[in-house]
Amino acid sequence: MPEKRIYNFNPGPAALPLPVLEEIQKELLNYRGSGMSVMEISHRSSWFENILNDAIERTQRLLGLDERFHVLFIQGGASLQFAMIPMNFLPEGKSADYVNTGTWSTKAIKEAEIQNKPHHVIASSEDRDFAYIPENIQFNKDAAFVHITSNNTIKGTQWHKFPDTGSVPIISDMSSDIFSRQLDINKFAMIYGGAQKNIGPSGICMAIIRDDMFKLIPEGLPSMLDYNTFLKKKSLYNTPPTFSIYTVQLVLKWIEETVGGLAAMEQRNQEKANILYDYIDSSDFYKGTADKESRSLMNITFRLPNEDLEKKFIGEAADSGLGGLKGHRSVGGCRASVYNAMSIEGVKALVEFMKKFEKANK
């Protein structure tokens, strides 16, 4: 067993900021004088109401949300949103546009197919194993919405400039880069993301939805699959994952008060990515898998000369306190997920290990 905390490069559930973990530890047995753990207090109590309200208010400040946007907390992760989005926002007689940039985009498209909802895959990077973000996309002017995945955890690509869709609403799965950079929220009708990569533990998904989208929702949907339910009941229609929301609140507090907001967060994330990419580019031993102009700042994917060396690399890295570097099982290779909570020191430690491993195994 490690004697101290490792540098955790897991893709999700991912690393949480140490100050957040320490605050949770401090409050775990007796939350704010309640005499109960935060996991024991009622979701109808003033204690939890304050947690929920603070999480929403910090989200509004960090993203610059105005009164048009509503912050909802929904169970089921981003995967449930794949089904709920066409169910709620794709009215009869309309079609939706999807851009396919990898596994999670493919899963979102599949959920529209399962419901027999009209849709078009208007662009895809599948022709080169999803190594890039498509450009010069021709969007349908009468589409109900355009769905994209802002960051692709498995393939290591990211939208650095969001597309101009005219008046067509953009909906984006931002599970792996939400709150990692500054964002012009006015470009979007909805953004959503599972918390377990950048803003908290698993168990909760944050969905931010613009007012006008709620008017599209048909009557007769099951209550728990209707966004209006979460809007009207302020995410408290049923018992939510209170501990997950509490942790999200603390992470947002850390981003806002300790890091200094999204501009500072983006600068920090760019610095981390540059350190690792610069070394990979300087080496003839490691090779990045994504096109340079499409590279993710969150998930840095790379290969070694052969699979045996990759297996050795992952094992020795773990022994050196660098965990979670195995690539997704569907693609193999290596992946360093450098989400918000990963420190610059952690990335530098990884690069130093990579240099030593290259020297010893060339």
Query: Could you give the residue numbers annotated as active site?
Result: 104, 173, 197
**Residues 305, 307: Cα–Cα separation, whole Å:** 7
Buried b (16+ CB within 10 A) or exposed e, 248-285: bbbbbbbbbeebeebeebbebbeebbeebbebbeeeeb
Closest Cα partner for 153 from 188, 134, 177, 123? 177
Q: How many residues does the chain have?
A: 362
How buried is 241 (Cβ within 10 angstroms: 0-12 exposed, 13-18 middle, 19+ buried)?
A: buried
Q: Is the dihedral of CA 76, 81, 82, 86 positive or negative?
A: positive
Round to the nearest angstrom and report the end-to-end CA distance of the chain: 30
Residue 52's nearest CA partner among 239, 222, 189, 327 is 239
Cα–Cα distance measured from residue 218 to residue 233, given in angstroms and rounded to the nearest whole number:
18
Q: How far is residue 277 from each of residues 152, 208, 213, 347, measured CA to CA in Å?
A: 17, 32, 39, 11
Spell out the residues 6+ positions from residue 271 whose beta carbon is closer than 8 angstroms to its own: 344
Q: How many CB atoms lie within 10 A of CB 124?
A: 17
Which three-class secondary structure state does DSSP give residue 360?
Answer: helix
Burial category of 46 from C-beta neighbours within 10 Å (exposed 0-12, middle 13-18, buried 19 and up)? exposed
